[in-house]
Structure 1
Amino acid sequence: MPCFDFLDKVELFLRMGTFPVDASKSSKKVTRAASKRFLYKDGRLWRTYRGRLLRVVRSDEEVREILTRYHDNNNHAGRVRAVKEIMMMYYWVGVTEAVKSWIKACAICQSRSPAEPPDPPVQFCLAYGCDSSSYVYPDLSFHRFPKEVERRRRWLAVAQRDEGSLRMNSCLCSRHFEPSCFTLTEEGQLALMSDAVPNIIPVAVQEEVPAPSDEDFLHSNTLEDLLSSAAAAAAAETTDPSEPGFDQSETPVELQEHQYCLPAADPDARTVQIVKDDKRRKTVIEPSFSAYNQIARYLSHRILPMQSKKSRGALKRMAKRFGLIDGVLMYTRVCPHLRVPRSREEV
């Protein structure tokens, strides 16, 4: 059970303004500092916590009564739930330890079958181009990056990553290690050696596609047209040159501009264009610069637009990500800062 001597000293100081006779100088200092968090009211000691008054428990009998009420009579609640409910109303030093000891001594709680452990989290290989995961390939083993700087650098070189890609649970799968990097433990399991370094670099297989020329970009309006023209060019190269073909010079071609270069009546207007395809329907939204212009105006003159209170608050929060440098709006959340275009001509 917890000790209540310290609470007795705090109550004595709040009631009488004195300390025990045998109290040392350091003990008086600690008692005086702790008394700022307590309050003596209606003949009882209270603990102030986040605007609430918690009743300070002063005896072992009161502790047993509270534990019986919040654990035994509460469907034998678990430790986290019992501690949370008790600390909403009462205070004494060592609430968590008292609840833990009470549950450990409870015969009903100990007779229950232990809960099944949760499934381990899915692990993924960090190597570029590797699709291994512990869910798809349960036979593979996954090994975390070493803390040693030189070995970690060699691991990153094989994974084709940098230090910014690492997380606490970043791993490499056993595909990138040779069999000589593993040793057999006494339990008969394969374990990675402490000085092992991966040396199998993953190779991503990609189909070769002819690179489009500048003329293809001018003739194409969407990404689908560009890909279809590249595929048609590849098919034309495989055909027999002796066979008659179409003369593309005779076909009239209409040059089209990109979407962001098209003129618009209102530069701040947001237009939506629907592009229909045989298989899917997608929406292309033309960007608007009104928000950026409002942010720049707020940063330079502290003037907010005539909008609702909620919209003005959202604009002020968004403005914290930007800054004006020599009159140019810059996105300052990254280094180096990025310039923000504010008109269609600038794009």
Structure 2
Amino acid sequence: MLTSDVKAQTLTVTESLVVGVDAGATSTRVAVHALDGTRVGYARAGAGNPSAHGLGRAVTAIETALRAALPSGGGYRVVASVAGVAGLVGEVAPALAKVWDCAGISDGPRCVGDVPIAYAAGSPEPEGALLLSGTGAVAARISDFQQVAIADGLGWLLGDAGSGFWIGRAAAKAVVAALDRGQDEGLLTELVVADFFGDERPAEPRTVAGRLVRIAQADHMRLASLARLVSRASEEGDPTAVEITREAAAHLVATLRRVHVSGPVVLAGSVLTNDGPVRRAVIELLGDETAMTARDAAGAAAWLAARDLLAEDAARDLHPLFTACA
């Protein structure tokens, strides 16, 4: 599936362009910019993580988005490209070089992991740290827009403390325990049970708990979707949900402290970019630290491609144009 948010323009004069790629586990985005920051093309395609979905599928997604984002009719020259790829493997760079060549671009993209791109989506400063919480969670120290240290990001089973999955699992555990003990149901329990069963809720609390456990065992990633219910219940004062969100924030900031030395902290991932109790608690715990929010990662990749071609002050000034959300 492909969507194009900014229609590729037809250029009438030769113009130098840069290409940025943000290839992730659920979707791929490609941004095409002129060196003055003007966005001339933007497109989305399917999942682009080669470790999760295979090299062929990932490369196809990137190629699909690239061709949709490039301006039609010629009249341009791509002078630099950066591809941020989650689950990056060594085979990606030569495969994308072939894709770029077939698209008429002489030089393939510089391939990096998704962490430096996520950081650059929030800050033009070369030194700082990334704190990301989406389905998973990770913190990284960044130097010259390169990852030099990392903490957590160890996956849903044994790591990712404070992530959307961690929050959802904590909620499910609390709800199952309450049902098993026959305790009075609070708002969080009501929301979680309704999400799993709708109008077909079993009558006995113990039966509800058992079925919820079996559903979670069959599809463990469904637990990540419960994070939004925890946020809602926390906002309405449910004590269990409030405790979970505070604990999630504490885990995230503790992970960050292991790697952060200086510079801004970029908050990324849906748990931290959307306003909610976890984001607010994290910002409170950060105190006087400068916290910035990640914006468009494909645009950030394009900005990194352009950065080496621009004066330092110009690159800094143009950062908001490149990273504006599509």
Does TM-score exceed 0.5, indicating one fold? no
Larger Rg: 1
State TM-score, norm by structure 2: 0.20
The structure where strand makes up a greater share of residues is: 2
User: Could you say which structure has the greater relative contact order, defined with CA pairs below 8 angstroms and 6 or more residues apart?
Assistant: 2
The structure where helix makes up a greater share of residues is: 2
State TM-score, norm by structure 1: 0.19
